[in-house]
Structure 1
Amino acid sequence: MTTTSSTGAWDEPPGLAARGTVILLTGRGETARTYQRFGRRIATDAYRVRVVETDLDDLVTTRKQVEALLADDDLPAPRVLAGSDTGASFASQLADLADGVVLAGLALPDSTPVTGWQSELDARSACPTHQRVLSEDADFTRGALARPVPSDWVVAPSTVPTLVLHGDKDPVTPLAAAFAPFSEARLRTVVGGHHDVLNDVSHRSVAATVVLFLESLKLGGDLPDIVV
């Protein structure tokens, strides 16, 4: 049965065999609730989703949580790391531990800080439903996009298949800066997308793009095309 959970665990529907696992790292200020819509949608396509809340003040514990999920024999392969904002940046540093990685709305040391609650909402997403989710989440940390990304973080390509998703209207990290470190990755521009492309107006199309990547990964690390 597909699980809807504020703790960040969603399973495949009854009667379907799980096709793999997505371990999602949250961005600044976000909670597992931030990704309920994304988690449900990916799980509907029979990929288990587990959310790890990235703690910038305790990345050692965050890494241990990710490693524990990657080593969990109850979670089917391929096991893919995904992340948004600083979760994407940290996922890129852990990518070689997984079978693949999905990086959405990368945050970099020179990304633009955002101040003011309405400005933060607008920077994150133009989707009114998602803006309401953030506004009603008592555990969400307002003002988190004003926090600088650690200056010693280096985002670099890994040896595993990589999908990079980024909005061309992202006010936090310019599109060119997000794509610059990656030459062999699948690069996908979300037209009109703001910073949190997993939860923006085009969230259905973005989720479909993630599923296409996962399906290609199941066929091989060279990501063979399925529909041509």
Structure 2
Amino acid sequence: MTQYSDYFGPEGLLVRGTVLVVPGRGETRATYARFGRRLAADAYRVRVIDAPDLDTEDLTALAARITTAAEDTTADDGVVRPLVLVGADSGAAAVAALLGHESDARPDAVVLAGLPGRAPAATAGTWDEELDVRTSCPAHRGLLTQDAEVRRGSLDDAVPEAVLAAAYGSEAAVPALLLVGDSDPLADHEALAHTAKSLARARLSVVHGAHHDVLNDLQHRSVAAEVVTFLETLRNELRPLITVRSSAW
């Protein structure tokens, strides 16, 4: 059984970069099929790995797994750069914490989506209440409900303090896009703002009306567009390709 889910760009187009997606608590690779297809449509090579269990898999082991996943995407001339890690929830915390580790698959940039806060926060007792924390998107709610591999109640699992401390205390120099929903009850918005300001090259984007699963909520099209814009800007040495000179909205 394959350990990855892969998404390829349109035939005949040059690959513009490699994106590795690290899911969060309770999620499966299928959780990011829609996101993977959308980025792949813009000629990015997307691979989704299995979510880490941070209680049993240390950061060194996760770094090795990410390195192997990246190496397995290689064409004849190696991994297509830029190599970007996208983490969601605990996957975002792990990716941020990993930036302080040496790795053969050192990313050129990261996207941290729905980074959980350090304070414990109970989600709820029922599945519908957990879904309300995650998303208001009917399609995503249906996907999570129908996926027998999704682990219900997982958002109540604590992310290891050492991982969160490393994530929020990161001083990484790689470009970082932080994504958070303004209706995410698990986010620490003040801590995110502080972390974004402390990083050398970070952008904090707040998605209006979005919940914890910010990559997969109702605003998923706009969020994917923000990610693609980041990827394209990264390819242009972080120089924006479009600036707004005048606008009435």
Is this a same-fold pair by TM over 0.5? yes
Which whole-Å CA distance do the structure 1 matches of 2:4 and 2:162 have between them? 30
Q: Secondary structure at the match of 1:187?
A: strand
1:168 maps to 182
Contact 1:168 1:193 in 2 (8 A): yes
Match of 1:128 in 2: 138
Structure 1, residues 164-221: CA drift from partner, whole Å, max 9, x if none? 010111011132233321214111010011001100000000000000000011111x
Match of 1:94 among 84, 95, 98: 98
Quote the sequence identity (%).
Answer: 43
How do 1:110-121 and structure 2 match up within 5 A? 110-116=119-125, 117-121=127-131
RMSD: 1.7
SS of 2:162's partner is coil
Distance 1:175 1:196 in 2: 15
Ranges in structure 2 where 5+ consecutive residues have no aligned partner = 101-105, 244-249
The farther-off stretch of 56-65 and 211-220 is 56-65
Structure 2 equivalent of residue 226 of structure 1:
241
Cα distance in 2 for residues equivalent to 1:66 and 1:108: 24
Tell whether the 8 Å contact from 1:6 to 1:36 is kept in structure 2 after alignment: no
Report the more deviating stretch, 129-138 or 172-181.
172-181
| Aligned match of 2:61 | 61
* Contact 1:83 1:91 (8 Å CA) reproduced: yes
- In 2, Cα distance between equivalents of 1:120 and 1:177: 23
2:178–2:203 CA contact under 8 A, matched in 1:
yes
Q: Deviations over 1:55-93 (max 9, x none)?
A: 222234332110123345333110001110000010112
1:94, CA displacement in angstroms? 2.2
Answer yes or no: is the 8 Å Cα contact 1:112–1:172 preserved in 2. Answer: yes
**2:215 partner SS:** helix
Q: Which runs of 4+ in 1 moved over 6 A?
A: none
Query: Does residue 1:143 correspond to 2:153, yes or no?
Result: yes
In 1, are the aligned partners of 2:9 and 2:15 still within 8 Å (CA)? yes
Q: 1:128 to 1:6 in 2, by over 3 A?
A: farther
Cα deviation, residue 111, structure 1: 4.6
Which of 72-81 and 122-131 deviates more?
72-81
Which string of whole-angstrom CA distances, capped at 9 and with x for unpartnered residues, describes residues 34-68 of structure 1? 00000000000011111122222223433211012
Deviations, residues 6-37 of structure 1 (Å, cap 9, x unaligned) = 94211111111110011111100000000000
Pair 1:22-2:37 in alignment: no
TM-aligned CA deviation for residue 110 of structure 1: 1.7
Within the alignment, does 1:38 sit opposite 2:35 as a pair?
A: yes
Gapped regions of structure 1 (runs ≥ 5) = none
| 1:108 is the counterpart of 2:123 | no
Distance 1:71 1:185, change over 3 A: same
Asked if the contact 1:92–1:157 (Cα under 8 Å) also holds between the matched residues in 2, the reply is no
Between the aligned partners of 2:235 and 2:229, the Cα distance in structure 1 is: 10
> Secondary structure of 1:34's partner?
helix
CA contact (8 A) 1:6 1:32 kept: no
Q: How many residues align?
A: 222
Is contact 1:89–1:108 with CA below 8 Å preserved after alignment?
no
TM-score between both structures, scaled by the size of structure 2: 0.84
Supply the distance in 1 between the matched residues of 2:48 and 2:57 (Cα, whole angstroms).
16
